[in-house]
Amino acid sequence: MVKNIINVRKLSKVFDNSLRAVDGITFDVRQGEIFGFLGPNGAGKTTTIKMLTTLISPTSGDAKIFDFSINKSASAVRASVGVVPQEFTADEDLTAYDNMLLMADLYGVSRTIAKTRIVELLSLVELSNAAKRKVNTYSGGMRRRLELAIGLVNHPKVLFLDEPTLGLDVQTRAAVWTYIEKLKKEYKMTIFMTTHYLDEADSLCDRVAIIDHGKIIKIDTPKNLKDSLGGDIIELKIENERTNVSDLLKKITGVKNVKKNGVEYRLKVKSAETLAPKLITMLTSKGHKVTKLSLSKPTLDEVYLEYTGRSLREEQSNSLDIMSMRRTQRLSRS
Amino acid sequence: MTQTESKGIHSISYLARSLWSITNRDLKKWYLAPVLLFISLIQPVVWLALFGKAFNFAGIFTNASFNIPGLNLPASVLNTIGNTLLTNTFGTTSYFSFLAVGMLAFIVVFTSMMSGMSIVWDRRFGFLDKLLTTPIPRASIVIGKILNGVVRSLAQALIVLVIAVLLSMNTAYFSVGGILIAFGALFLLAFGMSSLFVLLALHSKDWQTQMAIANLLSLPLLFMSNAFFPISAMPSWLQAIANVNPVSFTIAIGRSTLLGITPTISLGSAFLYLGVFAALLGTVSIILSWKLLKD
């Protein structure tokens, strides 16, 4: 039986301007998983993280992290979770080491433990050589890695990551993903992350919640979400084709649907990679020669489109959020 | 987070260490940046040199700089008249010394103001959000800012005092106790002023408005006090304000213990007034910190 670490019940946040940022969401996060909140800007992802990390209080509803209520035991929640916000929050005028020492003090980590832990964490994110440099000399990727290390200084069992790769270039994003996976493995951490990058949710998350207009539309594993679209696509072409093989193909278990577009067959199947070899063997045994075969899996893009009725879009949010996001993006590129 | 660590967040040692860390973070930017330290001293020193030396009242009234035609008074008589005029107005014959004590309060007001402002930057750069996700009590965030303002103010005031002495401030009445009492008054002023400016900046996301408000407050605070000129020579409406201005009380205490100028009220009452001022503003900003720091 897998334990739930975070229990969110009917959580809502209505802002002063009567914007319903989060609208009665209910979900659980299991121990040791990477749980992703996927949605466009303004969908309520950051508001949810801010409520779960007690930065803002909910209008109604409650959430429990290790049985600590975010409403009643805010300081216990704060002491036991780690947060890596969307913005760069490290003090630019201090060195990475001093930033981490400060945070260790604020989390009540004793100096002796803190000193070894900081060295360990900085080496985890490969910043050991830059530890004594002021943060304002860091590149965007380095700053993001430092934020990760800072978020881990209290050795949290639950880590909140808000858009961990916002504005980063492709290589740095891949590097950050590696660190996140390392954290999950080495520290057996439960990670709650938000993202509006579909590939990120797909490759990192064990389960994904699709959120739009403050409501959760669907929660499942990325694989199930994609499977729910009806399966993978196999496209194949047969050399000097004399007879239509549609009926033959339909008989194979796992094939749901066969369509012929000109000279190519388009099959909707359950699991393309295991089915493709069988297809080839079967067709060859019947005297057909396969000259072209392509497999494609549905992406979360299509899943998102399916459930929300549109692709991920930029949505209006307040000017301060946009300002801070632009700042993060600008710094990320430096 | 282990059990012992999470228990630790309620202990006194945690509260003390986290408060010191958060204060020291702000202080580091100042004592590790000598250029900043130097620049922040320029203004009061320039004022001290320009006003203190240019308003050469002693030069106007003494050393045979004037005479009454036909009477041909001897220089010694003229000097006595001039010095009596100066003493009656300023309480001392050295306007420079008179102004120097005013400048101590001046640097305290300005330094407290700038330190209080820094919370706006913390909010803007996300550092404040990060702080709010740690278990540190909200009050510590505000107290840390106030302490930062107090430490900086007192250190700067000490430097201004040393410079004033080097520029020939009258040290005839100086004593260790007197200097300590003067700095006690400056401490209370710095605490109250830092609280005031932290309070004003607590909920703000816009430093330009903050700067405008601060400038609007700080200069009148100084000119509506006894920093540049004795209150007794002011128009009555200005006297009314200057007489309740905590800056005036601080300077009166300083002039009493550093220059031997008799204050218009007792030192005890002046200290009580400043104490209430500091405690009141400190308490209000701490109480409001919870509400104003959130969203």
In chain A, domain spans: 4-225+307-333, 240-297
Which residue of B1, B25, B205 is in closest CB contact with A102? Answer: B25
Put simply, the answer to whether B25 touches A87 (Cβ < 8 Å) is no
B130 to chain A, any CB pair closer than 8 A? The answer is yes
The tens place of each residue's pLDDT in chain A, 334 residues long, gives 678 999 999 999 998 877 888 999 999 999 989 999 988 777 888 899 999 998 888 999 999 999 899 998 888 899 889 999 888 889 988 999 999 999 999 999 989 999 999 998 998 888 999 999 999 999 888 898 899 899 989 889 899 999 888 877 788 788 888 888 888 888 889 999 998 887 888 889 999 998 888 899 889 998 888 877 777 888 888 887 777 788 888 888 888 888 887 778 888 888 888 888 888 888 888 888 888 888 887 777 777 777 776 655 444 455 666 666 677 767 766 6
Q: How many cross-chain Cβ pairs, A to B, lie less than 8 Å apart?
A: 97
- Token pair 């998983």 is found at A33
B8 to chain A, any CB pair closer than 8 A? The answer is yes
pLDDT of B239: 92
Length of chain B as a residue count: 295
A143 to chain B, any CB pair closer than 8 A? The answer is no
Strand order in the sheet with A232-238: A255-261, A264-269, A232-238, A290-296
The token pair at A33 is: 């998983």
The token pair at A2 is: 């897998």
Q: Rounded to a whole number, what is the distance in Å from the CA of B33 to chain A's nearest CA? A: 10
Q: Is A175 left (phi over 0), alpha (psi -120 to 50) or beta?
A: alpha
pLDDT of B261: 86
pLDDT at B176 > cutoff 60: yes
Q: What is the mean pLDDT of chain A?
A: 85
Put simply, the answer to whether A88 touches B126 (Cβ < 8 Å) is yes
Give pLDDT tens digits for A143-159: 988 998 999 898 898 99
Mutation site for B-interface testing, chosen from A105, A117, A324 by largest number of B Cβ within 10 Å: A105
B5 to chain A, any CB pair closer than 8 A? The answer is yes
Strand order in the sheet with A60-65: A20-30, A4-14, A60-65, A68-69
Provide, rounded to the nearest whole percent, the portion of chain A with pLDDT above 90.
Answer: 30
**Shortest CA distance from A80: residue in chain B:** B1
Q: Rounded to a whole number, what is the distance in Å from the CA of B8 to chain A's nearest CA? A: 6
Closest to B202 measured CA to CA, from B109, B111, B287 = B287
Residue A271 has phi, psi (to 5 degrees) of: -140, 100
Put simply, the answer to whether A93 touches B29 (Cβ < 8 Å) is yes
Give pLDDT tens digits for B49-102: 877 777 777 777 776 667 777 777 777 777 787 788 777 778 787 888 898 999
Residues 30-89 of A with CB under 8 A from B: 53-57, 75-76, 78-81, 83, 85, 87-89
Task: For residue B2, list chain A residues with Cβ-Cβ distance below 8 A.
Answer: 155
For domain A4-225+307-333, give its CATH number from 3.40.50.300, 3.90.1150.10, 3.40.50.720, 3.30.160.20: 3.40.50.300
pLDDT of B2: 43
Closest to B261 measured CA to CA, from B232, B292, B223, B218 = B232
Which residue of B2, B135, B295 is in closest CB contact with A56? Answer: B295
In chain B, domain spans: 14-48+94-293, 55-90
Task: For residue A109, list chain B residues with Cβ-Cβ distance below 8 A.
Answer: 5
Q: Rounded to a whole number, what is the distance in Å from the CA of B34 to chain A's nearest CA? A: 14
pTM for this predicted structure? 0.79
Put simply, the answer to whether A156 touches B1 (Cβ < 8 Å) is yes
Specify the DSSP class assigned to residue A289. -
